Structure 1
């Protein structure tokens, strides 16, 4: 299977087409940046969402360290600060 175009089911049940050949828009509210749904724009490591991110697709302006959106980056920072 290649990564140019494939279908995924999001945790909310929505089925979307993903891959670097799928043109899209940044999923940050109010952002109109044109991106693709390739791994370079993915929050986390799995397009269905996982412990590393939500699985949304964001432009470079809205992806932060370790390829996370603002909400997932803040959550990871908070979890690292929390006492064990």
Structure 2
């Protein structure tokens, strides 16, 4: 399978995904043109996983991820992950 265009299931709905699928940022009110490629994905897995919702966001609304498995997280998923994993917020010595 290539990553230009494929179908995924997210929240019980089939959607088109991939870097060749144009869309807009999923942050309410944002009109930034993006694609549904992995670079814009919240979490590590298209469709959603323990790291994110599987939504697609522009650079302004996709925050860094706390784990290498995920490329980024939207703000609600970042806050949820931080609340569930407070040990990840402590700095290493």
Fold in common (TM above 0.5): yes
Uncovered stretches (5+) of structure 1, i.e. residues with no partner: none
Measured after TM superposition, the shift of residue 14 of structure 1 is: 1.3
Rounded to whole Å, the distance in 1 between the matches of 2:84 and 2:64 is 15
Aligned Cα RMSD in Å? 1.1
The structure carrying a bigger strand percent of its residues is: 1
Rounded to whole Å, the distance in 2 between the matches of 1:35 and 1:80 is 30
Measured after TM superposition, the shift of residue 2 of structure 1 is: 0.2
Uncovered stretches (5+) of structure 2, i.e. residues with no partner: 66-71, 88-93
Query: Deviating runs (4+, > 6 A) in structure 1?
Result: none
- The alignment's TM-score, normalised by the length of structure 2, stands at 0.83
Greater CA deviation, 48-57 or 73-82? 73-82
Rounded to whole Å, the distance in 2 between the matches of 1:43 and 1:78 is 17
- The alignment's TM-score, normalised by the length of structure 1, stands at 0.91
2:50 paired residue number: 51
Q: Describe how 1:56-67 pairs up with structure 2 within 5 A.
A: 56-66=55-65, 67=72
Task: Count how many residue pairs are aligned between Structure 1 and Structure 2.
Answer: 81
